[in-house]
DNA sequence: GAAATTCATGGGTGCGGACCTATTATTGGT
DNA sequence: ACCAATAATAGGTCCGCACCCATGAATTTC
Protein backbone atom coordinates (compact mmCIF):
# COMPACT_ATOMS: atom_id res chain seq x y z
CA UNK A 1 0.00 0.00 0.00
CA UNK A 2 2.50 2.46 -1.08
CA UNK A 3 1.62 5.88 -2.47
CA UNK A 4 1.61 4.03 -5.72
CA UNK A 5 -0.46 6.05 -8.22
CA UNK A 6 -0.85 3.12 -10.58
CA UNK A 7 -3.07 0.65 -8.74
CA UNK A 8 -3.26 -2.22 -11.18
CA UNK A 9 -4.79 -1.27 -14.56
CA UNK A 10 -1.32 -0.20 -15.52
CA UNK A 11 -0.56 2.74 -17.74
CA UNK A 12 -3.25 4.16 -20.00
CA UNK A 13 -1.09 4.57 -23.08
CA UNK A 14 -3.07 7.64 -24.01
CA UNK A 15 -1.54 10.13 -26.38
CA UNK A 16 -0.82 13.69 -25.23
CA UNK A 17 -3.58 16.07 -26.35
CA UNK A 18 -0.92 18.54 -27.35
CA UNK A 19 0.01 16.09 -30.08
CA UNK A 20 -3.41 14.88 -31.09
CA UNK A 21 -4.35 18.52 -31.55
CA UNK A 22 -1.90 18.67 -34.42
CA UNK A 23 -3.24 17.44 -37.72
CA UNK A 24 0.32 16.95 -38.89
CA UNK A 25 0.89 14.59 -36.00
CA UNK A 26 -2.26 12.63 -36.72
CA UNK A 27 -1.26 12.40 -40.34
CA UNK A 28 2.13 11.13 -39.36
CA UNK A 29 0.78 8.51 -36.99
CA UNK A 30 -2.09 7.23 -39.06
CA UNK A 31 0.16 7.25 -42.08
CA UNK A 32 2.70 5.18 -40.25
CA UNK A 33 0.03 2.74 -39.18
CA UNK A 34 -1.22 2.49 -42.74
CA UNK A 35 2.25 2.01 -44.09
CA UNK A 36 3.13 -0.57 -41.48
CA UNK A 37 0.06 -2.69 -42.02
CA UNK A 38 0.32 -2.37 -45.73
CA UNK A 39 3.95 -3.43 -45.66
CA UNK A 40 3.12 -6.34 -43.41
CA UNK A 41 0.49 -7.56 -45.84
CA UNK A 42 2.73 -7.15 -48.85
CA UNK A 43 5.50 -8.97 -47.03
CA UNK A 44 3.32 -12.07 -47.09
CA UNK A 45 4.21 -12.29 -50.75
CA UNK A 46 7.74 -11.02 -50.34
CA UNK A 47 6.91 -7.65 -51.78
CA UNK A 48 7.56 -4.18 -50.51
CA UNK A 49 5.77 -0.96 -51.19
CA UNK A 50 8.11 -0.02 -54.00
CA UNK A 51 7.36 -3.25 -55.77
CA UNK A 52 3.68 -2.50 -55.74
CA UNK A 53 4.27 1.07 -56.84
CA UNK A 54 6.33 -0.06 -59.81
CA UNK A 55 3.75 -2.64 -60.83
CA UNK A 56 1.04 -0.02 -60.54
CA UNK A 57 2.97 2.46 -62.66
CA UNK A 58 3.50 -0.13 -65.36
CA UNK A 59 -0.10 -1.24 -65.28
CA UNK A 60 -1.45 2.30 -65.37
CA UNK A 61 0.92 3.90 -67.82
CA UNK A 62 2.26 1.00 -69.80
CA UNK A 63 5.88 -0.02 -70.37
CA UNK A 64 8.59 2.40 -69.38
CA UNK A 65 12.23 2.87 -69.99
CA UNK A 66 13.82 1.99 -66.69
CA UNK A 67 15.12 5.44 -66.06
CA UNK A 68 11.79 7.06 -66.90
CA UNK A 69 10.17 4.71 -64.44
CA UNK A 70 12.57 5.77 -61.74
CA UNK A 71 11.93 9.43 -62.45
CA UNK A 72 8.21 9.01 -62.42
CA UNK A 73 8.28 7.41 -59.01
CA UNK A 74 11.03 9.67 -57.71
CA UNK A 75 13.22 6.79 -56.78
CA UNK A 76 16.95 6.61 -57.24
CA UNK A 77 17.84 4.75 -60.45
CA UNK A 78 20.23 2.50 -58.59
CA UNK A 79 17.48 1.52 -56.20
CA UNK A 80 15.14 0.89 -59.08
CA UNK A 81 17.60 -1.69 -60.33
CA UNK A 82 17.18 -3.72 -57.17
CA UNK A 83 13.42 -3.42 -57.14
CA UNK A 84 13.29 -4.64 -60.73
CA UNK A 85 15.71 -7.43 -59.91
CA UNK A 86 13.18 -8.71 -57.41
CA UNK A 87 10.24 -8.24 -59.72
CA UNK A 88 11.90 -10.00 -62.63
CA UNK A 89 12.98 -12.84 -60.38
CA UNK A 90 9.35 -13.17 -59.33
CA UNK A 91 8.27 -13.10 -62.95
CA UNK A 92 6.23 -9.95 -62.51
CA UNK A 93 8.06 -7.82 -65.04
CA UNK A 94 10.32 -8.37 -68.00
CA UNK A 95 13.38 -6.36 -68.91
CA UNK A 96 14.09 -6.08 -72.62
CA UNK A 97 16.70 -3.91 -74.22
CA UNK A 98 15.22 -1.20 -76.39
CA UNK A 99 16.34 -2.05 -79.94
CA UNK A 100 16.23 1.63 -80.91
CA UNK A 101 18.51 2.71 -78.10
CA UNK A 102 20.27 -0.28 -76.70
CA UNK A 103 21.31 1.55 -73.59
CA UNK A 104 17.74 1.70 -72.48
CA UNK A 105 15.91 -1.16 -70.87
CA UNK A 106 12.24 -1.45 -71.50
CA UNK A 107 10.30 -2.63 -68.49
CA UNK A 108 6.98 -4.34 -69.01
CA UNK A 109 4.55 -5.90 -66.61
CA UNK A 110 3.78 -9.54 -67.25
CA UNK A 111 0.26 -10.93 -66.93
CA UNK A 112 1.43 -12.51 -63.69
CA UNK A 113 2.65 -9.13 -62.58
CA UNK A 114 -0.70 -7.54 -63.30
CA UNK A 115 -2.43 -10.33 -61.46
CA UNK A 116 -0.10 -9.87 -58.51
CA UNK A 117 -0.87 -6.18 -58.50
CA UNK A 118 -4.59 -6.86 -58.45
CA UNK A 119 -4.11 -9.22 -55.54
CA UNK A 120 -2.09 -6.62 -53.67
CA UNK A 121 -4.69 -3.98 -54.29
CA UNK A 122 -7.21 -6.35 -52.79
CA UNK A 123 -5.08 -6.81 -49.70
CA UNK A 124 -4.55 -3.10 -49.46
CA UNK A 125 -8.29 -2.61 -49.47
CA UNK A 126 -8.63 -5.08 -46.66
CA UNK A 127 -6.07 -3.23 -44.59
CA UNK A 128 -7.82 -0.02 -45.45
CA UNK A 129 -11.16 -1.39 -44.34
CA UNK A 130 -9.68 -2.18 -40.95
CA UNK A 131 -8.08 1.21 -40.59
CA UNK A 132 -11.14 3.13 -41.64
CA UNK A 133 -13.54 0.94 -39.73
CA UNK A 134 -14.59 3.80 -37.43
CA UNK A 135 -15.80 5.82 -40.41
CA UNK A 136 -18.99 5.53 -42.39
CA UNK A 137 -18.68 4.97 -46.14
CA UNK A 138 -19.51 8.61 -46.76
CA UNK A 139 -16.87 9.71 -44.30
CA UNK A 140 -14.31 7.46 -45.90
CA UNK A 141 -15.05 9.07 -49.23
CA UNK A 142 -14.65 12.49 -47.68
CA UNK A 143 -11.37 11.52 -46.09
CA UNK A 144 -10.11 10.13 -49.36
CA UNK A 145 -11.04 13.27 -51.25
CA UNK A 146 -9.38 15.51 -48.69
CA UNK A 147 -6.23 13.42 -48.59
CA UNK A 148 -6.08 13.45 -52.34
CA UNK A 149 -6.18 17.22 -52.40
CA UNK A 150 -3.44 17.36 -49.81
CA UNK A 151 -1.37 14.74 -51.58
CA UNK A 152 -1.50 15.97 -55.15
CA UNK A 153 0.50 19.16 -54.67
CA UNK A 154 3.17 17.17 -52.89
CA UNK A 155 4.00 15.25 -56.04
CA UNK A 156 3.47 18.23 -58.28
CA UNK A 157 7.00 19.07 -57.39
CA UNK A 158 7.85 22.36 -58.99
CA UNK A 159 9.40 21.29 -62.26
CA UNK A 160 12.02 24.08 -62.29
CA UNK A 161 15.69 23.16 -62.00
CA UNK A 162 15.62 23.52 -58.24
CA UNK A 163 19.35 22.75 -58.20
CA UNK B 1 4.17 7.81 -85.30
CA UNK B 2 7.26 7.14 -83.30
CA UNK B 3 6.72 4.70 -80.47
CA UNK B 4 8.31 7.34 -78.33
CA UNK B 5 5.83 8.30 -75.62
CA UNK B 6 8.07 10.89 -73.98
CA UNK B 7 8.64 13.72 -76.47
CA UNK B 8 10.71 16.23 -74.53
CA UNK B 9 8.92 17.69 -71.47
CA UNK B 10 10.55 14.90 -69.54
CA UNK B 11 8.73 12.65 -67.17
CA UNK B 12 5.54 13.81 -65.50
CA UNK B 13 6.23 12.25 -62.12
CA UNK B 14 2.56 11.53 -61.77
CA UNK B 15 1.46 8.85 -59.37
CA UNK B 16 -0.35 5.76 -60.67
CA UNK B 17 -4.13 6.10 -60.24
CA UNK B 18 -4.21 2.55 -58.97
CA UNK B 19 -2.33 3.82 -55.95
CA UNK B 20 -4.02 7.15 -55.46
CA UNK B 21 -7.32 5.29 -55.47
CA UNK B 22 -6.25 3.66 -52.21
CA UNK B 23 -6.90 5.70 -49.13
CA UNK B 24 -4.33 3.62 -47.31
CA UNK B 25 -1.76 4.68 -49.85
CA UNK B 26 -2.66 8.35 -49.57
CA UNK B 27 -2.47 8.07 -45.80
CA UNK B 28 0.93 6.51 -46.06
CA UNK B 29 2.27 9.12 -48.44
CA UNK B 30 0.82 12.22 -46.84
CA UNK B 31 1.80 10.84 -43.46
CA UNK B 32 5.32 10.37 -44.63
CA UNK B 33 5.42 13.88 -45.99
CA UNK B 34 4.07 15.23 -42.72
CA UNK B 35 6.57 13.23 -40.73
CA UNK B 36 9.44 14.22 -42.93
CA UNK B 37 8.73 17.92 -42.84
CA UNK B 38 8.03 17.81 -39.16
CA UNK B 39 11.27 16.00 -38.49
CA UNK B 40 13.15 18.48 -40.65
CA UNK B 41 11.76 21.36 -38.66
CA UNK B 42 12.49 19.74 -35.33
CA UNK B 43 15.99 18.94 -36.49
CA UNK B 44 16.66 22.66 -36.62
CA UNK B 45 16.79 22.50 -32.85
CA UNK B 46 18.39 19.08 -32.70
CA UNK B 47 15.18 17.40 -31.68
CA UNK B 48 13.42 14.39 -33.05
CA UNK B 49 9.79 13.42 -32.95
CA UNK B 50 10.25 11.33 -29.83
CA UNK B 51 11.69 14.29 -27.99
CA UNK B 52 8.63 16.32 -28.75
CA UNK B 53 6.35 13.48 -27.80
CA UNK B 54 8.04 13.08 -24.45
CA UNK B 55 7.88 16.78 -23.72
CA UNK B 56 4.23 16.81 -24.68
CA UNK B 57 3.44 13.88 -22.44
CA UNK B 58 5.16 15.53 -19.51
CA UNK B 59 3.46 18.85 -20.16
CA UNK B 60 0.04 17.29 -20.57
CA UNK B 61 0.12 14.68 -17.84
CA UNK B 62 2.74 15.97 -15.46
CA UNK B 63 5.85 14.21 -14.18
CA UNK B 64 6.19 10.51 -14.83
CA UNK B 65 8.25 7.67 -13.61
CA UNK B 66 10.54 6.89 -16.49
CA UNK B 67 9.09 3.49 -17.10
CA UNK B 68 5.53 4.75 -17.00
CA UNK B 69 6.51 7.36 -19.54
CA UNK B 70 7.90 4.71 -21.83
CA UNK B 71 4.75 2.63 -21.50
CA UNK B 72 2.49 5.53 -22.18
CA UNK B 73 4.26 6.35 -25.39
CA UNK B 74 4.78 2.72 -26.32
CA UNK B 75 8.48 3.13 -26.66
CA UNK B 76 11.08 0.67 -25.52
CA UNK B 77 12.45 1.63 -22.08
CA UNK B 78 16.00 1.37 -23.32
CA UNK B 79 15.23 3.82 -26.11
CA UNK B 80 13.55 6.14 -23.64
CA UNK B 81 16.85 6.32 -21.80
CA UNK B 82 18.54 7.79 -24.83
CA UNK B 83 15.76 10.25 -25.54
CA UNK B 84 15.91 11.47 -21.98
CA UNK B 85 19.68 11.68 -22.15
CA UNK B 86 19.28 14.17 -24.96
CA UNK B 87 16.52 16.10 -23.26
CA UNK B 88 18.39 16.40 -19.98
CA UNK B 89 21.52 17.49 -21.80
CA UNK B 90 19.43 20.18 -23.47
CA UNK B 91 18.00 21.18 -20.12
CA UNK B 92 14.45 20.34 -21.14
CA UNK B 93 13.77 17.76 -18.47
CA UNK B 94 15.20 16.79 -15.13
CA UNK B 95 15.74 13.30 -13.82
CA UNK B 96 15.39 12.90 -10.09
CA UNK B 97 15.36 9.66 -8.19
CA UNK B 98 12.07 8.98 -6.51
CA UNK B 99 12.83 9.09 -2.77
CA UNK B 100 9.98 6.67 -2.06
CA UNK B 101 11.26 4.06 -4.46
CA UNK B 102 14.81 4.81 -5.34
CA UNK B 103 14.78 2.52 -8.31
CA UNK B 104 12.43 4.83 -10.09
CA UNK B 105 13.48 8.01 -11.81
CA UNK B 106 11.05 10.83 -11.83
CA UNK B 107 11.06 12.80 -15.06
CA UNK B 108 9.89 16.38 -15.00
CA UNK B 109 9.73 18.99 -17.71
CA UNK B 110 11.65 22.15 -16.95
CA UNK B 111 10.26 25.59 -17.80
CA UNK B 112 12.75 25.63 -20.66
CA UNK B 113 11.39 22.30 -21.77
CA UNK B 114 7.85 23.58 -21.76
CA UNK B 115 8.94 26.63 -23.70
CA UNK B 116 10.73 24.44 -26.19
CA UNK B 117 7.60 22.36 -26.59
CA UNK B 118 5.53 25.45 -27.26
CA UNK B 119 8.04 26.54 -29.87
CA UNK B 120 7.92 23.13 -31.52
CA UNK B 121 4.17 23.14 -31.56
CA UNK B 122 4.37 26.46 -33.33
CA UNK B 123 6.71 25.06 -35.93
CA UNK B 124 4.51 22.03 -36.33
CA UNK B 125 1.59 24.32 -37.04
CA UNK B 126 3.60 26.09 -39.67
CA UNK B 127 4.44 22.82 -41.36
CA UNK B 128 0.82 21.85 -41.07
CA UNK B 129 -0.32 25.06 -42.67
CA UNK B 130 1.88 24.33 -45.66
CA UNK B 131 0.65 20.79 -45.98
CA UNK B 132 -2.99 21.66 -45.63
CA UNK B 133 -2.77 24.76 -47.78
CA UNK B 134 -5.08 23.28 -50.43
CA UNK B 135 -7.86 22.94 -47.89
CA UNK B 136 -10.20 25.53 -46.51
CA UNK B 137 -10.29 26.00 -42.72
CA UNK B 138 -13.51 24.05 -42.55
CA UNK B 139 -12.04 21.23 -44.57
CA UNK B 140 -8.98 21.16 -42.36
CA UNK B 141 -11.22 20.79 -39.36
CA UNK B 142 -13.08 17.97 -41.07
CA UNK B 143 -9.85 16.23 -41.94
CA UNK B 144 -8.61 16.58 -38.40
CA UNK B 145 -11.79 15.15 -36.96
CA UNK B 146 -11.76 12.21 -39.33
CA UNK B 147 -8.11 11.46 -38.70
CA UNK B 148 -8.70 11.61 -35.00
CA UNK B 149 -11.43 9.03 -35.25
CA UNK B 150 -9.17 6.81 -37.30
CA UNK B 151 -6.24 7.34 -34.99
CA UNK B 152 -7.83 6.83 -31.61
CA UNK B 153 -8.63 3.12 -31.94
CA UNK B 154 -5.07 2.53 -33.06
CA UNK B 155 -3.70 3.53 -29.68
CA UNK B 156 -6.57 1.94 -27.79
CA UNK B 157 -4.63 -1.24 -28.21
CA UNK B 158 -6.64 -4.03 -26.73
CA UNK B 159 -5.17 -4.45 -23.27
CA UNK B 160 -5.25 -8.29 -23.38
CA UNK B 161 -1.97 -10.14 -23.28
CA UNK B 162 -1.94 -10.52 -27.03
CA UNK B 163 1.09 -12.81 -26.72
C1' DG C 1 18.78 -12.23 5.44
C1' DA C 2 18.40 -14.59 0.84
C1' DA C 3 15.97 -14.83 -3.45
C1' DA C 4 13.22 -13.03 -6.84
C1' DT C 5 11.61 -8.82 -8.98
C1' DT C 6 11.70 -4.16 -10.84
C1' DC C 7 14.11 -0.19 -12.94
C1' DA C 8 17.32 2.27 -15.40
C1' DT C 9 21.10 1.83 -18.29
C1' DG C 10 24.50 0.41 -21.82
C1' DG C 11 25.49 -1.99 -25.78
C1' DG C 12 24.46 -4.38 -29.71
C1' DT C 13 21.54 -6.17 -33.91
C1' DG C 14 18.64 -6.02 -38.00
C1' DC C 15 15.72 -3.76 -41.36
C1' DG C 16 14.31 -0.46 -44.62
C1' DG C 17 14.94 3.75 -46.98
C1' DA C 18 17.50 7.30 -49.18
C1' DC C 19 21.62 8.59 -51.22
C1' DC C 20 26.12 8.50 -53.53
C1' DT C 21 30.12 6.91 -56.43
C1' DA C 22 32.40 4.16 -59.80
C1' DT C 23 32.24 1.15 -63.92
C1' DT C 24 30.66 -0.58 -68.21
C1' DA C 25 27.73 -0.26 -72.49
C1' DT C 26 25.87 2.49 -75.92
C1' DT C 27 24.73 6.55 -78.16
C1' DG C 28 25.09 11.13 -80.71
C1' DG C 29 27.95 14.74 -82.27
C1' DT C 30 32.10 16.48 -84.41
C1' DA D 1 37.52 7.65 -85.32
C1' DC D 2 37.15 10.07 -81.04
C1' DC D 3 34.70 12.35 -77.20
C1' DA D 4 31.10 13.71 -74.28
C1' DA D 5 26.78 12.47 -72.51
C1' DT D 6 23.38 8.93 -71.04
C1' DA D 7 21.72 4.19 -69.16
C1' DA D 8 21.98 0.54 -66.28
C1' DT D 9 24.35 -1.71 -62.80
C1' DA D 10 27.08 -2.99 -58.66
C1' DG D 11 28.81 -1.87 -54.92
C1' DG D 12 28.91 1.04 -50.46
C1' DT D 13 27.40 4.51 -46.71
C1' DC D 14 24.49 6.70 -43.41
C1' DC D 15 20.41 7.28 -40.66
C1' DG D 16 16.38 6.32 -38.03
C1' DC D 17 13.59 3.07 -35.84
C1' DA D 18 12.49 -0.93 -33.31
C1' DC D 19 13.97 -4.66 -30.60
C1' DC D 20 16.55 -7.59 -27.52
C1' DC D 21 19.87 -9.02 -23.90
C1' DA D 22 23.13 -8.36 -19.87
C1' DT D 23 24.35 -5.68 -15.87
C1' DG D 24 23.91 -3.22 -11.47
C1' DA D 25 21.26 -0.83 -8.05
C1' DA D 26 17.22 -0.91 -5.20
C1' DT D 27 13.06 -3.07 -3.61
C1' DT D 28 9.75 -6.51 -2.25
C1' DT D 29 8.62 -11.30 -0.82
C1' DC D 30 9.25 -15.19 1.88
**Which tens digit of pLDDT belongs to each residue from B9-54?**
455 678 999 999 999 999 999 999 999 999 999 998 889 999 999 9
Q: Please indicate whether, in this complex, the C-beta atoms of B17 and A155 are within 8 angstroms of each other.
A: no
**What's the pLDDT at A155?**
84
Measured CA to CA in angstroms, residue A163 lies from A67, A71, A158, A159 at distances of 19, 16, 12, 11
Tally Cβ neighbours within 10 Å of residue A9.
7
**What's the pLDDT at A151?**
96
Domains of chain B plus CATH, in order, are 38-131 (1.10.10.10)
Of residues B17, B25, B149, nearest to A134 (C-beta): B149
**What's the pLDDT at A4?**
33
Check if the beta carbon of residue A108 is closer than 8 Å to that of residue A98: no
**Which tens digit of pLDDT belongs to each residue from A73-88?**
999 999 999 999 999 9
**What's the pLDDT at B155?**
85
Q: Is B84 exposed, middle or buried (0-12, 13-18, 19+ CB in 10 A)?
A: buried
Of residues A20, A32, A52, nearest to B148 (C-beta): A20
Nearest Cα of chain A lies from the Cα of B89 at a distance, in angstroms, of: 23
B76 touches strand D (CB under 7 A): yes
Residue numbers of chain A with a pLDDT score lower than 50: 1-9, 159-163
**What's the pLDDT at A157?**
57
**What's the pLDDT at B4?**
35
Tally Cβ neighbours within 10 Å of residue B107.
24
Task: Give the bridge partners for A106, in sequence order.
Answer: A65, A96
Q: Which nucleotide is nearest to A74 (CA to C1')?
A: C18
**Number of CB pairs, chain A paired with chain B, less than 8 A apart:** 213
Q: Which residues of B touch A161 (CB under 8 A)?
A: none
| Residues of chain A (13-52) having a beta carbon less than 7 angstroms from strand D | 32
Helices A137-155 and B23-43: crossing angle, nearest 10°? 50
Nearest Cα of chain B lies from the Cα of A90 at a distance, in angstroms, of: 21
Q: Which residues of B touch A31 (CB under 8 A)?
A: 27-32, 34-35
Backbone φ and ψ of B107, nearest 5°: -105, 125
CA of B9 to C1' of C22 (A): 30
**What's the pLDDT at B156?**
73
Report which of residues B163 and B157 the model is more confident about.
B157
Q: Which residues of B touch A38 (CB under 8 A)?
A: 24-25, 28
Give yes or no for A75 touching B (CB within 8 A).
no
With CA atoms as reference, the chain B residue closest to A146 would be: B143
**What's the pLDDT at A11?**
60
**What's the pLDDT at B31?**
96
Positions of strand C less than 7 angstroms from a protein CB: 6-12, 16-22, 25-28
**Which tens digit of pLDDT belongs to each residue from B111-141?**
999 999 999 999 999 999 999 999 999 999 9
What does the alpha-carbon distance between residue B23 and residue B26 come to, in Å, rounded to a whole number?
5
Check if the beta carbon of residue A135 is closer than 8 Å to that of residue A143: yes
Q: What is the average pLDDT score of chain A?
A: 89
Amino acid sequence: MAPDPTPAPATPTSTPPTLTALTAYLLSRTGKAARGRLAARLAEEDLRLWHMAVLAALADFGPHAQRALAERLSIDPSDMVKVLDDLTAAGHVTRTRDPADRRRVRVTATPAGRAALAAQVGRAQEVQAELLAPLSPAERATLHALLLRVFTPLTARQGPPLD
